Amino acid sequence: MQLAKDVKRAKRLVKKVLKGRRALFGARELVAQRGPLPEQTFRIGVYFADSDVNIYQMRQWYAPLAELSKTHPVVVIARSPAGAKLLMEESGLDVAFAQKVTDLEKLVRQQPLEVILYVNQNTRNFQMMRYGERWHVFINHGESDKMYMTSNQFKSYDHAFIAGDAARTRLSKALWEYDLDTRTFAIGRPQTDHLAGEPPFAADDRTVVLYAPTWEGDRPAASYGSVVTHGERLVERLIATGRHRVVYRPHPRSGVVSPEFGAANERIIAALAAANQRDPGAQHVYDTAPAIGWQLSVPDVAICDVSAMVYDRLATGKPLMVTRPASPEADVDETGYLSVCEWLTEGDVDRIDEVLQGVIEDDEARERLGTWSTHYFGDTTHGAPTRRFHEAIETLLGRAEALKAGGQA
């Protein structure tokens, strides 16, 4: 019994090592093909220490960063071979592969980096944050009311780009002696200016439902995922009505902790494929696209777990439901939008068609969405978030120039 476990563990280790070597070779090959980046070019860097597993945290920033790079060249500083390889293949941005600390030191010498942006709280961020005479800025990878959004780690950075008033309120309650006025910039959600793309189906009289659950979480307090509790029955019911088109976009980490969660996710994917075989006109979608655009703007209604997806959809002002976590241990902050949202409980799933129609036709719910969208993101007029993002960057670059010149920031 123990021997079998040891053999299985050894096989996993070998597989992991081989995958790492392939990624390292691939990243180095792409760097060699591209050639060295021009020196003394990049004042703005985006630091990403994770592997390809968490690439979704960077993907949502591709379009805003590409827009920013039209004004100021942007370089992504990738530390993991797998992450660097994928970034070079798909981001369209300049990528510096700095696997070792010595590579990082060389990059800092070669580039006039004045603003470093961070999309997550990876512990290896500190290897970059040790370099002074530049601004270290936390930009996060989404807006939500999860406990992640009130981490005391905000204080580690010189500044943070936050979405709006809701974030200010959240942080003011959670962090002691954190000067929001000087250390934060409210920029809204620049990603909403880039909700592009066309859906892979033709519009018809079916109601398009986005179901975007999060993963199972790595601790009881973060067990927001609904795939097991709501998901299978939800999708089965929507398929059965014949009046709905499901766009299923699960979190890329679904099943990494819980085999049960992963198996349920696979069964949902299989159910959608089977439904499309039976009825090609159904055109249900299992969506794994790197970029998210039409998935937020096109569906008639969205069903999301407690996650950043709730707030991405909220920014569009279109009908939305949030799954009520089944676990009593899940830490749900109901002081913000979740205090007035349209909850979907386990008990609601069996009458989901009736529930969704009620939400779609509820004018008061739509008005609440608009009010809360402004509370979370400020002015959501097309172009406004991008303008505020660029203004925040310009402010920090201006302060950096003043300090380098010996003046006041």
- For the domain made up of 32-188, give the CATH fold: Rossmann fold (3.40.50)
For 30-82, the pLDDT digits (tens) are: 989 999 999 999 999 999 999 998 999 999 999 999 999 999 999 999 999 99
Residue 370 has pLDDT above 60, yes or no: yes
Identity of residue 319 = P
Q: Indicate if 207-377 has the same CATH topology as 32-188.
A: yes
Identity of residue 141 = H
Read off the pTM: 0.84
pLDDT band at 334 (very low <50, low <70, confident <90, very high): confident
- Burial category of 259 from C-beta neighbours within 10 Å (exposed 0-12, middle 13-18, buried 19 and up): exposed
Dihedral sign (CA 312, 313, 317, 320): negative
> What pLDDT score was predicted for residue 2?
66
CA distance 134 to 10: 44
Task: Work out the percent of the chain whose per-residue pLDDT is above 70.
Answer: 95
In the structure encoding, which two tokens stand for residue 153, read together?
A: 């780690």
Domains of the chain, residue spans: 32-188, 207-377
| Contact predicate 301/207, CB 8 Å | yes
Dihedral sign (CA 40, 42, 47, 50): negative
pLDDT band at 4 (very low <50, low <70, confident <90, very high): low
Closest to 204 (Cα-Cα) out of 244, 237, 249 = 244
Residue 145 has pLDDT above 90, yes or no: no
Closest to 302 (Cα-Cα) out of 356, 369, 231 = 356
Largest CA distance in the chain: 71
Beta strands in 63-180 (DSSP E): 74-78, 94-97, 115-118, 135-138, 159-162
| Contact predicate 88/62, CB 8 Å | no
For 202-245, the pLDDT digits (tens) are: 999 999 999 999 999 888 888 999 999 999 999 999 999 999 99
- For the domain made up of 207-377, give the CATH fold: Rossmann fold (3.40.50)
pLDDT band at 407 (very low <50, low <70, confident <90, very high): low
Buried b or exposed e, range 358-369, using 16+ CB within 10 angstroms: ebeeeeebeeeb
> What pLDDT score was predicted for residue 382?
92
> What pLDDT score was predicted for residue 10?
63
In the structure encoding, which two tokens stand for residue 189, read together?
A: 């959600």
CA distance 338 to 10: 45
> What pLDDT score was predicted for residue 7?
55
Residue 309 has pLDDT above 70, yes or no: yes
